[in-house]
């Protein structure tokens, strides 16, 4: 079965839908249809917290295969404010990205960013890192905020305690998140904004009992899809993977499954093998800004001295703009000269690498060879050996 070319052009009459087109073991190749286009899954959502990935334009993203962007409702509420975005036509028109958009509620940021916070059953009062003003984010207010922004997919307010925390604190956060999810779902139904769909979030860290409790309580509500939150917040990678492997098969089969905030290319392959569909992570652009590039052979730290006269592209198998036009030596030069194009070109390569990886995963699932694809990728992606051979400057 050949993969359909994803559409990024608006079709506000298209109803939301999720269709599984092929499976290979637990891995799924599917299609999420939104009011602003189709997302082929497994799919990676490029993170543009404030409306754009740092240093990259919508045209660059489209050229390299981006289907959907993730933006952060909490950060946009602080700056420039949801009312201004709404007055200027919503996030699609405001940002210049006319494909699907998912907004994260900011629940993770409320509990992870430093600053004044006070959590009660009513909601979370949090001081803006921009102005210092304290604003109360209730479940209802967060849904109203996201509807005002006008994305395609939205997330509810939840409580994500950092690790380590006590079993009592974790259990309290799970129960509160279930109650908040019900309030979010109710307000979402009341607003009934055309084209805006609400996902639920499963919490519980790496506690299987609490994960099951969160899943049962959240899945009892009416959500368009479900996400796994509360991972990669301080626990060991082995615990993260065990928690994902336990929870993923318990999610509803006929709805999109989204793993929040994870991770490296091996992480993505692992998660796809568990039956998850959508992913986001800041690694491609954050690492790009710090001269760390993803390649089919592993991680390349382009500032290192060994690349000073290296005329090869970052990844000889990559067809992104950066790899077609520039060498490792030139990128290293740009970083050492503190030229802004260094971060732009490296971020562009990393995003393209992730998007190309996801395309390869989709094609492998459809061809019934996902496990062979995963094994072959991981054998080439020997990041430890690759990095060990890179002498520090």
Q: Residue 176 is part of a domain; what is its CATH number?
A: 3.20.20.105
Is residue 69 situated within a structural domain? yes
Is residue 11 situated within a structural domain? no
| Residues 55 and 197 grouped into a single domain | yes
| Residues 292 and 373 grouped into a single domain | yes
114 pLDDT band, cuts 50/70/90, is low
| Residues 142 and 78 grouped into a single domain | yes
Based on the residue annotation, tell me whether 384 is a catalytic residue of this protein: no
Is residue 26 situated within a structural domain? yes
Give the residue among 57, 63, 10, 61 at the shortest CA–CA distance from 38: 10
* Cα–Cα distance measured from residue 306 to residue 328, given in angstroms and rounded to the nearest whole number: 10
Based on the residue annotation, tell me whether 207 is a catalytic residue of this protein: no
Average pLDDT in the 209-231 region? 96
Average pLDDT in the 203-226 region? 96
**What are the start-end ranges of the E strands in the chain?**
17-24, 27-34, 37-41, 43-47, 69-72, 101-104, 117-119, 124-127, 134-137, 153-154, 197-202, 225-228, 257-259, 278-280, 292-295, 298-301
Contact 170, 146 (CB under 8 A): no
| Residues 293 and 205 grouped into a single domain | no
pLDDT for residue 7 is more than 80:
no
| Residues 294 and 382 grouped into a single domain | yes
| Residues 81 and 165 grouped into a single domain | yes
| Residues 33 and 132 grouped into a single domain | yes
| Residues 209 and 306 grouped into a single domain | no
| Residues 113 and 206 grouped into a single domain | yes
Q: What is the pLDDT of residues 77-112, one digit of tens each?
A: 999 999 999 999 999 999 999 999 999 998 888 777
The angle formed by the CA atoms of residues 335, 337 and 343, to the nearest 5 degrees, is 30
Domain limits for position 84:
17-216+224-233
Candidate from 16-25, 71-80, 84-93, 154-163 with smallest mean pLDDT: 154-163
| Residues 74 and 208 grouped into a single domain | yes
Is residue 296 situated within a structural domain? yes
Which is the catalytic residue, given 24, 158, 267, 280? 280
Which is the catalytic residue, given 24, 104, 158, 267? 104
Q: How many domains, in total, are found in the chain?
A: 2
Q: What is the pLDDT of residues 201-214, one digit of tens each?
A: 999 999 999 999 99
| Residues 132 and 60 grouped into a single domain | yes
Is residue 78 situated within a structural domain? yes
Q: What is the pLDDT of residues 158-204, one digit of tens each?
A: 998 877 889 999 999 999 999 999 999 999 999 999 999 999 999 99
Average pLDDT in the 120-143 region? 92
247 three-state secondary structure: helix
| Residues 173 and 309 grouped into a single domain | no
Is residue 269 situated within a structural domain? no
Contact 119, 159 (CB under 8 A): yes
Is residue 274 situated within a structural domain? no
Is residue 337 situated within a structural domain? yes
Q: What is the pLDDT of residues 293-334, one digit of tens each?
A: 999 999 999 999 999 999 999 999 999 999 999 999 999 999
């Amino acid at each position: 079965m050949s993969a359909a070319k994803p559409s990024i052009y608006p079709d506000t009459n298209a109803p939301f839908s999720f269709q599984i087109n092929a499976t290979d073991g637990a891995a799924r190749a599917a299609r999420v249809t939104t009011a602003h286009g189709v997302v082929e899954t497994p799919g990676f959502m490029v993170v543009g917290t404030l409306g754009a990935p740092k240093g990259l334009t919508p045209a660059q993203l489209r050229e390299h295969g981006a289907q959907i962007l993730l933006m952060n409702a909490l950060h946009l509420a602080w700056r420039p404010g949801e009312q201004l975005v709404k007055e200027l036509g919503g996030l699609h028109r405001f940002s210049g990205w006319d494909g699907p958009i998912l907004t994260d509620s900011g629940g993770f940021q409320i509990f992870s960013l430093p600053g004044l916070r006070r959590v009660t059953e009513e909601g979370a009062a949090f001081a803006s890192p921009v102005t210092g003003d304290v604003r109360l984010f209730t479940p209802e207010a967060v849904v109203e905020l996201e509807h005002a922004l006008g994305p395609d997919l939205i997330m509810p307010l939840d409580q994500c305690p950092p690790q380590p925390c006590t079993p009592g604190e974790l259990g309290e956060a799970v129960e509160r998140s279930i109650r908040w999810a019900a309030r979010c779902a109710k307000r979402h139904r009341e607003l009934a904004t055309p084209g805006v769909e609400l996902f639920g979030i499963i919490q519980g860290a790496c506690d299987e009992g609490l994960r099951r409790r969160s899943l049962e309580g959240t899945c009892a509500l009416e959500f368009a899809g479900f996400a796994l939150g509360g991972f990669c917040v301080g626990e060991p990678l082995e615990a993260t993977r065990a928690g994902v492997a336990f929870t993923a098969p318990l999610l509803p089969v006929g709805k999109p499954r989204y793993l929040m905030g994870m991770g490296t290319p091996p992480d993505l392959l692992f998660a796809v093998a568990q039956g998850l569909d959508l992913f986001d992570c800041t690694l491609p652009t954050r690492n790009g800004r710090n001269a760390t590039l993803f390649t089919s052979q592993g991680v390349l730290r382009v500032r290192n001295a060994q690349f000073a006269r290296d005329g090869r592209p970052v990844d000889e198998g990559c067809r992104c703009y950066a790899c077609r036009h520039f060498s490792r030596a030139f990128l290293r030069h740009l970083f050492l000269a503190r030229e802004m194009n260094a971060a732009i070109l490296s971020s562009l390569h990393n995003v393209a690498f992730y998007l190309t990886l996801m395309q390869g995963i989709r094609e492998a699932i459809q061809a019934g060879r996902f496990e062979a694809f995963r094994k072959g990728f991981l054998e080439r992606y020997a990041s430890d050996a690759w990095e060990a051979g890179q002498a520090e400057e």
